[in-house]
Homo-oligomer: A and B are copies of this chain.
């Protein structure tokens, strides 16, 4: 019979977010009629902005005409749109920091992560921030780049966990780290919300250059950075072009969680040991295993990246950031220790000595609010719970009131 893939077998628990959905549904089945408020998975709630909607509608209509129809990305009209889109990302998002020809468009940061794992294969060593967005770890396990799950370590063998804790301001201590081929790094961080300064990213880049490692820089929350001194892209750092890939997405800043659009930046200078450019292999992977994001979605993204689109996007970001401020204020008032940098949509609440799944359950069962247990993001997330700022204002206000009434 066909053997079960031993790498998938290694994954003990289910993927974090469906698991939370499952617990949520289980609770609702037992307690019908209760109105839960979700500050869990980080699902956006506010409508798409008018400029983006106009573009989606216009293109959907045009697909019904002979002149406006496009098929695969290979055809000329589709190629022209894609070039315009990449040029706009290069100019309006990166201010020319990266070239249009170094950008590859996709259906999101998560699937790009999975494809990057296919790109690098299983014969690489990997470091991840701990806690971290689960796909870095789960995807590395699936592709076979890790060892078995180690109960004692509460993590996978062969994988290097870089603890991010209050003691190190949630930024890994590089001096304690061995060399790895890949370093996953997310700033603004999901889940801790920590943002690396230019100096800190410079240290990371220098570390990667010295070790000849490649940084996979997840910038999916970069648009939430308010503080103008903080870097929004790894490519603001000197030397990054020789050692970094950046992934990004419109999911959170433009409400594209369901619409699906993301992109990667792979600089031309980034090379493998044999001198071949990483970008060529990346394009080969993307061309072979993927067929591009939906053409309708590309048009929505095209609108999101123009002047009006970016202004509207900022409005949405401001809305969610005010939510974040209200959550932080509420947790402070309730005497719950929490971390929020003012530059990310996540608040990282600390319940020292408690199990984060227990805290999650208590908030769910007694407060009827869904959060995300920190332990789901890695061993160093134990004792923490993540509050997401994505929600309607009235729900956020209500959720904060509910949490304030709980006794921990």
Contact = CB atoms under 8 A, between A and B. Distances in A.
A138 B122 CA distance: 17
Interface residues of A, number: 94
A158 B68 CA distance: 46
A57 interface: yes
A334 interface: no
Contacts of A74: 17-18, 21, 41, 43
Contact of A295 (B4, B110, B142, B259): B259
A124 interface: yes
Interface in A85-136: 107-108, 110-111, 113-115, 118-124, 134-135
A293 B214 contact: no
Contacts of A392: 66
Contacts of A287: 14-15, 17-18
A282 to B, nearest CB: 10
A296 B60 contact: yes
A26 interface: no
Contact of A255 (B65, B69, B108, B271): B69
Chain A, interface SS category: loop
Interface in A47-96: 47-50, 52-53, 56-57, 60-61, 63-66, 68-75, 78
Contacts of A281: 4-5, 8
Contact of A213 (B2, B61, B65, B288): B2
A395 to B, nearest CB: 12
Interface string A1-39: 111111111010011011001000000000000000000
Given A213-B2, A272-B2, A297-B296, A69 B48 contact: yes
A181 interface: yes
Given A2-B273, A144-B121, A284-B14, A107 B107 contact: yes
A114 B118 contact: yes
Interface of A: 1-9, 11, 14-15, 17-18, 21, 41, 43-50, 52-53, 56-57, 60-61, 63-66, 68-75, 78, 107-108, 110-111, 113-115, 118-124, 134-135, 138-139, 142-144, 181-182, 212-214, 255, 257-260, 271-274, 276, 281, 284-285, 287-297, 392
